Amino acid sequence: MKIIDTHAHYDDAWFDDNRYELLDSILAQNVLAIINMSVDIPTCDFSIELSKRYDNVFAAVGIHPENIVGTPDSYIDTLRKYGEQPKVVAIGEIGLDYHYENYDAQKQKEIFEQQIMLANELSLPVVIHSRDATEDTLNILRRTTPEKGVVHCFSGSPETALELLGLGLYISFTGVLTFKNAKKAVRSCEAIPIDRIMLETDCPYMAPSPFRGSRCDSSMTIKTAEKLAEIKGLSVDETVSICNENAIRFFNLGVNN
Ligand SMILES: [Zn+2]
């Protein structure tokens, strides 16, 4: 069964040597569809171009918290224009990241909130990135109430997961779920009903076990599905089928089989 990767970064330089050959090959084999994320205005352009090149590649457009420096004031109008393109299915990835020193929390929060408001205006889902910023992320989500949202690459506690579910959000897991030290992510996964879970790679990063550290691509989504199947006591086919349906429903994907 072919699988959907709900979160990828095919603009990354790690793909420069064989980007299109790789995509041709995995989309012909075991990958049903891909949503390519954006982190700034140039990657929005890339994601939209990629979605035009492949039937089952879709685009998310947005400004990542680590890319806010130099964002022009007019960015929200640019995103609004992009959001009206037929294969743009989400605003993402957006959020808060307090991991590296000298981050501007105030500016990050402002840009995060503005993009959630835009998503609500356009009735698009948001794809949320949150690192070392759980409380501020939750506060903004409580206040802005995105119509539809998914917290990606989740590795937080079951308590945080339940709080997000209470806000109506979905949660997606990368290859991190397969890592030996991912006990907290596994416990959270146990607490989340499968109809609120989506699968992703965040490729080229976060390659699942046994590929950890190497370049990841969407065909490796199956490794995370296998781990999820084990956690939920389901077959891999059932797990893939449910997660594919969740992604199609959540992002309103017009997937061609
Ligand atoms: Zn990402």
Domains of the chain: 3-251 (3.20.20.140)
Distance, CA of 94 to CA of 43 (rounded, Å) = 13
Output the CA 40–ligand 1 centroid distance in Å: 12
Q: Which residues pair with 25 in a beta bridge?
A: none
The CA distances from residue 203 to 35, 88, 112, 168, 219, in Å, are 11, 19, 23, 26, 10
Output the CA 191–ligand 1 centroid distance in Å: 23
**Other residues' Cβ atoms within 10 Å of the Cβ of residue 239:** 26
C-alpha radius of gyration, the chain, whole number: 17
Output the CA 8–ligand 1 centroid distance in Å: 6
Predicted pLDDT of residue 257: 78
Tokens of 253: 């994907």
CA dihedral 25, 30, 35, 37 (to 10 degrees): -60
Kindly report, residue by residue over 113-166, the tens digit of the pLDDT: 999 999 999 999 999 999 999 999 999 999 999 999 999 999 999 999 999 999
Per-residue pLDDT, averaged over 78-93, amounts to 97
Output the CA 237–ligand 1 centroid distance in Å: 25
Q: Which residues surround ligand 1, an ion (CB under 5 A)?
A: 37, 202
Distance, CA of 201 to CA of 255 (rounded, Å) = 19
